[in-house]
Amino acid sequence: MRLGSLSRQVFEKSLAGEGLAIELGPFIVNIKTNISSLLPVAYPLYCAYPLASPSAMVDFHIRLAHRQGLRHWVKPQSVFFLDGRTPFVPSSLEHAFPALEWGINWCIATRAHHLLMLHSAVVERNGNAILFPAWPGHGKSTLCTALVFSGWRLLSDEFGLVRPEDGLLLPIPRLIPLKNESIDVIRNFRPEAVIGPSFLKTRKGTVAHVIPPEDSILRSQETAKPRWLIFPRWVAGAPLSLEPIPKSQAFLMVATNAFNYEVLDQTAFRLVTDMVKACDCHSLVYSDLSEAVAAIDALTRSTDG
Amino acid sequence: MGKVSLQTARANQILLDAILTPEKLPSLPPADWDLLIRVARRVRLLGRLEADLSNSGLLGMIPAKAAEHLRAARHVIEHRRTLVTWEVNRLLWALKGTDAPIILLKGAAYMVAGLPPAPGRLYADVDLLVPEERVAGIEEKLVSKGWFKMEIDPYDDRYYRVWMHEIPPLRHRERGTEIDIHHRILPRTSRLKPDPALLFEAALPLADPRLRILAPADLVLHCVVHLFLEGDPTEGLRFRDLLDLHLLLGHYGQAPGFWEGVVPRACRLGLARPLYYGLRFTQHFFATGIPQTVQDEINRLRPVWPIRALMDFLVPLAILPGHPDHPNRLASLARWLLYIRAHWLKMPPVMLVRHLSYKAYLRFRGINKKVDLAQLDLRQQ
């Protein structure tokens, strides 16, 4: 059952009561909140996401609540609870939604150590995936958004989740947070993409969330095999370049930019080695999104299969 | 019973059953698994559950999602174990040529000696006990070989140096692991004053002769000291430490002479009272096999009735985690009272008031340990 099949009233009542358990790829997140301003934002953005079956075990129990006390009257804030504890400083009430999104990522990054978590966007076509490991600000979310609205399936814009048992990539097609200029870039690139409200002056500037294509959300249990590693970097005005890079370099770039490479130790070494061996490795410098999408299309068609 | 106390009781029972009879876990209903994982995480026992289930070959018989959380915990523990092992190795390298006796304490000691609390235990720092007159030399040597003194405010630095049983933690420039150097097992200001010289006299060499471990009775006594005299106002007493105690008693209790010696040793070190509580509560929760003679011996040293009754009421409330969604106010009060009690035993009254008001002032100023998302790089977690 999808969240959108609940009426707004049931949605609100569940959130305020026992919470709503939503399936986000391999994770089930139960969210409770009494912050009513969150509901009109969250409902349309999460409409397409599947609800977990009532008997399913929940991975993260999250509650978002108003901060109590006198401050509430001066500067209302929201507090993020994970298992009854408050790991973060409270955020302003207007930023409750981006704070929730961030908090969920934090839960995954700090707890899901049964998987190797690469810091990477991942998209798939015909069962073959491209990983885009990149540092913040290198334009991985923007490029990934452009690709998933150009025929690729979204696995994730942030987490390359590798299953240690078979080295396959698990999808976690979350809302894609676009920052600052990227929001208009995507609006111009694909006017039909549904983008939520812009949150101004968050800690990362202006943030707005794109809903992934429905197909990506529906297929969120379908794994993919790593086939290409492309290290993207957006540079203003730069001519497009998509060049092969040595596998040794690719290995280092993947291993040093993971969430939990050290935690998985030998397993991580083996997984990244296998991945780099199985992938064609390229570096991409781009300034124009359409050119980058076309170049990736050409590259993957020439080597696909 | 109200809703909160029902939920508290349910969460605590699920945890206790899991620890006492892990072989029954395959028949636990999924809704209880959900709660067990949360509660066990809070008391840092996910790794222990994983180790118990894996030893009995039952990991494949529990819900897949629960197994994922346990596997994740195992990965973190193995990683921490590697870090701590390496830190001990580097420490020995840095201290080459020093003849100071170095005793490993707590987790690192359990790990290196292969004691029963080790499997599935989460290792945080490396804790050492060295003779007080050697502390400065060792600290200097480590600082010259790449460790640095963690930046703390002048109040805390003074607090450590003048009053405490350890110096401010050292951390290596490239590695995150902390080294805590102790020169006694309780603060200088404490009412209980176990003489560290006695501990060094009795300490035993580990497989690597440059390292030592406390003698069995002393190790048990340090465990009860840690359990009943250190803690944090929100976490309360650590259930993990009580389980360590139970496992240590089960292990050393097999050895000849241990039970005969433990109460006299506690008296010698002035730690009869914490030992009384340790034995009382391991027996209460884990039915630890304690010989009747030892029980009679320690009961002669027990506190007067009203204090006993109060502790019997407070400790079970404070040491069990309760339900994460239904915070129990009485349990929070018990945790806070036991925290005050621990400080009361460690500091003279005037100092205690000064110290707690300073800490309260810091909390009021909003200086706390929470993560600011702005500063947060998820990869560093």
The pLDDT tens digits for A163-193 are: 999 999 999 999 999 999 999 999 999 999 9
Phi and psi dihedrals of A37, rounded to 5?
-70, -15
> What value, to the nearest 5°, has the Cα angle with vertex A244 and ends A239 and A248?
130
Q: Is B63 on the interface with A (CB under 8 A)?
A: yes
Dihedral sign, Cα of residue B310, residue B313, residue B315, residue B317: negative
> What value, to the nearest 5°, has the Cα angle with vertex A264 and ends B87 and A132?
125
Radius of gyration for the alpha carbons in chain B, expressed in angstroms and rounded: 21
Give yes or no for a contact between B10 and B35, defined as CB atoms under 8 angstroms apart: yes
CB contact under 8 A, A106 and B370: no
Residue B69: partners with Cβ closer than 8 Å, 6 or more residues away: A59, A111, A114, B37, B41, B46
Write out residues in chain B with pLDDT < 70, as ranges. Answer: 1, 231-233, 363-381
Q: Which of A47, A63, A49, A75 is nearest to A15 (CA)?
A: A63
pLDDT exceeds cutoff 90 at A247: yes
Q: Is B232 on the interface with A (CB under 8 A)?
A: no
The pLDDT tens digits for A130-142 are: 999 988 778 889 9
Which residue in B has a C-alpha nearest to residue A203's C-alpha?
B374
What is the model's pLDDT at position B376?
Answer: 44
Judging contacts by C-beta atoms under 8 Å, the chain A residues touching residue B79 are 262-265
Give me the mean pLDDT over the A273-285 stretch. Answer: 97
Name which of A61-70, A202-211, A231-240, B288-297 the model is least confident about: A61-70
- In this predicted complex, what is the ipTM? 0.93
Tell me the nearest-neighbour CA distance from A159 into chain B, angstroms.
11
Q: Is B324 on the interface with A (CB under 8 A)?
A: yes
Q: Is B363 on the interface with A (CB under 8 A)?
A: no
Q: Is B371 on the interface with A (CB under 8 A)?
A: yes
What is the model's pLDDT at position B375?
Answer: 40
Q: Which residues pair with A33 in a beta bridge?
A: A64
Judging contacts by C-beta atoms under 8 Å, the chain A residues touching residue B331 are none
CB contact under 8 A, A83 and B370: no
Do the strands A280-286 and A27-33 form a parallel or antiparallel pair, or are they unpaired? unpaired
pLDDT exceeds cutoff 60 at A127: yes
Cβ contacts below 8 Å, chain A against chain B, sum to: 88
CB contact under 8 A, A113 and B370: no
What is the model's pLDDT at position B371?
Answer: 54
Is the pTM higher than 0.80? The answer reads yes
What's the per-residue H, E or C state across chain A? CEHHHCCHHHHHHHHHCCCEEEEECCEEEEEEECCHHHHHHHHHHHCCCEECCCCCCCCEEEEEEECCCCHHHHCCEEEEEECCECCECCEEHHHHHHHHHHHHHHHHHHHCCCCEEEEEEEEEECCEEEEEECCCCCCHHHHHHHHHCCCCEEEECCEEEECCCCCCEECCCCCEEEECHHHHHHHHHCCCCCECCCEEEECCEEEEEECCCHHHHHCCCCCEEEEEEEEEEECCCCCCEEEECCHHHHHHHHHCCECCHHHHHHHHHHHHHHHHHHCEEEEEEECCHHHHHHHHHHHHHHHCC
The pLDDT tens digits for B192-226 are: 889 999 999 999 999 888 899 999 999 999 999 99
pLDDT exceeds cutoff 90 at A266: yes
Give yes or no for a contact between B172 and B87, defined as CB atoms under 8 angstroms apart: yes
What share of chain A has pLDDT > 90, as a percent? 85
User: In which residue are the tokens 């920052």 written?
Assistant: A179
pLDDT exceeds cutoff 80 at A276: yes
What is the model's pLDDT at position B258?
Answer: 97
CB contact under 8 A, B76 and A113: yes
